[in-house]
């Protein structure tokens, strides 16, 4: 059975004190309220990863991730952090290929394939984001685009490595806009992604791959999205900044 995951992406929000308060609240609520088979991941700005990972040590349900890392192990890359550094402060995951990284920092599939390798080599798991813009959807090239993002970003991996990847389908037009993909729209793409995985790695790997939905997911729409056959949880931006909202999304699995 594939894992159900709710991951929070704080992006460049929160200062240290407010972040620690938020995370303490999330840990307390999740420990009380999440189902045993669920995992909750919080991805703060990298400055806070160490402190959050220390707090998460006592929780079997909550872990911590970074929002990005460099593809090299070390070196003269001022301002960057490596996967081994992320690992050394207690994180378990790294978000890769978020549309904001693709759009504002020019990250392409080729670079993201290198980052994926670095993350896996260092014993971390990527949360690998894919998804189309509104223009691409309107031009009806979104299936092809998603296929390319998969093929060029993660399908070079050997099966054992691919099995560690969490995928996140995030339609760019739904991120931070308040416009959510309908459960049917999201399910259609998730089923397509799972079919592509099946074609590449076989049915067992496909059935075991966790595929998250991201884009204006909130406590009101989470239960319906998560009840779709191929949606295994969410990558949450805005709603991860309020402990009650985030925990209500975590609880949405229980009310299907």
Of 70, 98, 142, 190, the active-site residue reads 98
Query: Is residue 136 among the annotated active site residues?
Result: no
What residues make contact with ligand PGA under the rule CB under 6 A? 9, 170, 175-176, 214-217, 235-239
Exposure pattern of 227-246 as b/e (b: 16+ CB <10 Å)?
ebebbbbbbbbbbbbebebb
Q: Which is nearer to ligand PGA, 201 or 210 (CB)?
A: 210
Q: Which is nearer to ligand PGA, 170 or 230 (CB)?
A: 170
Query: Is residue 156 among the annotated active site residues?
Result: no
Residue nearest to ligand PGA (CB): 237
Of 39, 70, 170, 190, the active-site residue reads 170
Q: Are strands 125-130 and 93-96 parallel, antiparallel or unpaired?
A: parallel
Q: Which is nearer to ligand PGA, 9 or 71 (CB)?
A: 9
Distance CA 204, CA 186 (A): 22
Question: Which H helix or E strand runs over 128?
Answer: strand 125-130
Q: Which is nearer to ligand PGA, 130 or 239 (CB)?
A: 239
Q: How far is the CB of 140 from ligand PGA (least distance, A)?
A: 23
Query: CB-based burial of residue 203 (10 Å sphere; 0-12 exposed, 13-18 middle, 19+ buried)?
Result: exposed
Q: Find out whether 61 and 34 touch, Cβ atoms under 8 Å.
A: yes
Q: Which residues are catalytic?
A: 98, 170
């Amino acid at each position: 059975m594939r894992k159900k995951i709710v991951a929070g992406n704080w992006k460049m929000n929160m200062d240290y004190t407010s972040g620690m308060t938020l995370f303490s609240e999330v840990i307390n609520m999740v420990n009380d309220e999440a189902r045993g088979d669920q995992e909750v991941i919080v991805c703060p700005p990298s400055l806070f990863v160490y402190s959050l990972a220390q707090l998460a040590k006592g929780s079997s349900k909550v872990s911590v991730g970074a929002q990005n890392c460099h593809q090299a192990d070390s070196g003269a890359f001022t301002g960057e952090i490596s996967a081994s550094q992320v690992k050394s402060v207690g994180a378990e995951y790294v978000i890769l290929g978020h549309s904001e990284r693709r759009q504002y920092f020019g990250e392409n599939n080729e670079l993201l394939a290198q980052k994926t390798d670095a993350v896996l080599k260092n014993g971390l798991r990527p949360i690998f984001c894919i998804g189309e813009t509104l223009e691409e959807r309107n031009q009806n090239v979104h299936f092809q685009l998603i296929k390319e993002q998969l093929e060029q970003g993660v399908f070079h991996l050997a099966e054992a490595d691919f099995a560690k990847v969490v995928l996140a389908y995030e339609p760019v037009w739904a991120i931070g806009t308040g416009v959510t993909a309908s459960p049917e729209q999201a399910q259609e793409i998730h089923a397509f992604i799972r079919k592509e995985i099946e074609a590449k790695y076989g049915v067992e790997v496909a059935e075991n791959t966790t595929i998250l939905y991201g884009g204006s997911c909130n406590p009101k729409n989470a239960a319906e999205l998560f009840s779709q056959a191929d949606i295994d949880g969410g990558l949450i931006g805005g709603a991860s900044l309020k402990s009650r909202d985030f925990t209500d999304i975590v609880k949405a699995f229980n009310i299907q």
